[in-house]
Amino acid sequence: MSAEQTVDAAVVERFHDDGWAVLPDVLSEEEVHAARSALVDAAAACEERGMPVRLEDLDPGGRNIRVYDLLAHGRVFAELAAHPRVLPYVEALLGPDVILSNFTANTALPGSGSMNAHNDQSTVMPEPWPTLETMNAIWCLHDVDEENGATRYLPGSHHFESFAEVPQDPKEGMAAFGADAGSVILMHGRLWHTSGENRSADRDRALLFAFYSSGFLRPQTNWWRSLPADVQSRLSPRLRALCCLDFGNMAGGAYLADPDLR
Ligand SMILES: O=C(O)CCC(=O)C(=O)O
């Protein structure tokens, strides 16, 4: 099925206008449960191996659980990273030469604090950012809202092209995303955002961040190193390409041999 057949133009327009857009009901309740359970196992496996999952410098208060390189932790994450209802949007927005820069999780437990505001494009390329080169597909494994620490964003900030345009306190004026479990929030790479404080009494907030970028940008993770050989061998050809395991970086200039690839 081609990208044109599976991409709703209204969603793409909302993404460009607002800096984000929601794809509802991508996962069923059972699929959400399976992903949540795989995430709990992944966090436990990290701790067992001595990889810290609570990063005080990043998340004040020690109430966030981080898991990096999710592809190394279960097949469900590989399915999400190349999901047929989501990847066509990524390809439509960033173009066909796209890579998976990283795939991480942030579970905000009740009492969690808010991290520093940032845009994600600035983590992989220097300013200015005149064009869209990065985006997140945020997988909601719980219902997320203001109370349980949904990601907060600064409206209109996806138009900023440099740090100089960012207000002194970018958190002032931020609003919370809202989405149901099983939804995917497509987030513009230049949108300034932060994790919300989870002020609920007992509602965890687990989000998965599949961060994609244009193929010419260095990925945040080195999948060659972070994925065990048996995991690499199980990845689909599309996911291998997204992880730069075959030809990365603009396909090695393949258009030199075939002009149609330009
Ligand atoms: O957890 C969130 O809501 C935001 C996380 C984030 O922006 C990050 O980890 O860079």
Q: 148-183 pLDDT, tens per residue? A: 999 999 999 999 999 999 999 999 999 999 999 999
Q: Which domain holds residue 113?
A: 3-261
Report the SS3 class of residue 233: helix
Is the per-residue pLDDT at 1 higher than 70?
no
Q: Do the strands 205-214 and 98-108 form a parallel or antiparallel pair, or are they unpaired?
A: antiparallel
Q: 33-62 pLDDT, tens per residue? A: 999 999 999 999 999 999 999 999 999 999
Number of folded domains that form the chain: 1
Percent of the chain whose predicted confidence (pLDDT) is above 70? 94
Q: 103-127 pLDDT, tens per residue? A: 999 999 999 999 999 999 999 999 9
Q: Determine the length of the chain.
A: 262
Q: Render 31-97 in DSSP notation, one character per residue.
A: HHHHHHHHHHHHHHHHHHTT--S--TTTSTTS-EEEE--GGGG-HHHHHHHT-TTTHHHHHHHH-SS
Any atom of ligand 1 within 6 Å of the Cβ of 140: no
Q: 76-91 pLDDT, tens per residue? A: 999 999 999 999 999 9
Is the per-residue pLDDT at 231 higher than 50?
yes
Strand partners, 176: 152
Amino acid at 80: L
Q: Give the CATH number of the domain where residue 196 resides.
A: 2.60.120.620
Report the SS3 class of residue 21: strand
Residue to probe by mutation, ligand 1, list 121, 194, 199, most atoms within 8 Å of CB: 194
Any atom of ligand 1 within 6 Å of the Cβ of 193: yes
Please tell me the predicted confidence (pLDDT) of residue 262: 61
Cα–Cα distance between 89 and 256 in angstroms, integer? Answer: 28
Any atom of ligand 1 within 6 Å of the Cβ of 67: no
Query: Distance from the CA of 226 to the center of ligand 1, in angstroms?
Result: 21
Closest residue by CA, ligand 1 atom 2 = 195
Any atom of ligand 1 within 6 Å of the Cβ of 106: yes
